[in-house]
Amino acid sequence: MPELPEIASRAREMNQHLSAKTISGIEIFQPKSLNVPVDEFKTALTGAAIRGAAHHGKWIIVDTTRGWLLFNLGMGGELLLVTRASLPEKRRLIFDFSDGTCLAVNFWWFGYAHFARTGELDRHPMLARLGPNALDLSLEQFYALLVGQRSTVKSFLLDQSHIAGIGNAYIHDILFLARLHPQRLLSSLSSAEISSLYNAIHQGLEPSLAKGGAFYETDLLGQKGRFLLQDILVGYREGQPCPNCSTPIVKIKTGSTSSFLCPTCQPKDLL
């Protein structure tokens, strides 16, 4: 599932490669991924010139002269800049551009392509629920978010309404880098531990962001991400030695999800 490094990379690539292109036509093969009727979506965005792209959490936000075009890849998918002659086999939407290129969009399972009118982005119900981007917070803002929170550190970081962009792939290394057990209660964290957690969010996401995201996702030009399996510290490494102390990494159940951690570096006894 794409998380902040992948989504921010796609937004960066779209900003670089799609800016100034004009949408000349739209084909929709999965109307359920839209938030408005097909005709309204096409009428609204055909003729729109792209001004740039950014992201908020797992949403890619494309700024056009006719309003906002929003993508959420859900469990994963591809956004590919191609031509009609090189269309991928799987596509749920195609945006043709006036220069002869097109953006082919595929969702592996289900995703969204939404439209929001100019000036109405903050009324989009799914975006409005998101907390700030995980890498855009200051340490002071991060402290403020944690005040009065009663949840565990893992469930807090995964709740997109608190902080947007962290999911089940990067959470393990973030908590390992912070030397925190996933089930530590936020109310038990010292100031030093909160600072480490803040730094760990950056240390856990930025290397992948710098490499265009994880190896299992594809970029706008069809290349795989350069953040590889061997770049992961403890996530999905059950039984392998901790890179810090060599204790075997364990996999435990935390609520409905699994956690990978080093039982020595991330003790639970401060619960």
Could you list the residues that contact Zn ion (CB under 5 A)?
Answer: 242, 244-245, 247, 262, 264-265
Which residue lies nearer to Zn ion by CB, 134 or 242?
A: 242
Residue type, 104: A
- The C-alpha atoms of residue 36 and residue 114 are separated, in whole angstroms, by 7
Minimum separation from the CB atom of position 231 to Zn ion (A): 18
Residue whose C-alpha is closest to residue 251's, from 268, 267, 269, 263: 263
Measured CA distances, 1 to 78, 91, 190, 256 (Å): 12, 18, 32, 17
The residue whose Cβ lies closest to Zn ion is 242
Which residue lies nearer to Zn ion by CB, 161 or 264?
A: 264
The side-by-side arrangement of strands in the sheet containing 67-72 is 50-56, 59-64, 67-72, 112-116
Which residue lies nearer to Zn ion by CB, 7 or 171?
A: 171
Minimum separation from the CB atom of position 182 to Zn ion (A): 15
Given the DSSP bridges, would you call strands 112-116 and 93-97 parallel, antiparallel or unpaired? unpaired
Minimum separation from the CB atom of position 260 to Zn ion (A): 12
Which residue lies nearer to Zn ion by CB, 230 or 256?
A: 230
Which residue lies nearer to Zn ion by CB, 61 or 262?
A: 262
DSSP H helices in 99-190: 125-128, 139-146, 153-158, 171-177
Minimum separation from the CB atom of position 244 to Zn ion (A): 4
Which residue lies nearer to Zn ion by CB, 246 or 257?
A: 246
Residues whose CB is less than 8 angstroms from the CB of residue 85 and which lie 6 or more positions away in sequence, other chains included = none
Minimum separation from the CB atom of position 241 to Zn ion (A): 8
- The C-alpha atoms of residue 220 and residue 33 are separated, in whole angstroms, by 20
Minimum separation from the CB atom of position 161 to Zn ion (A): 32
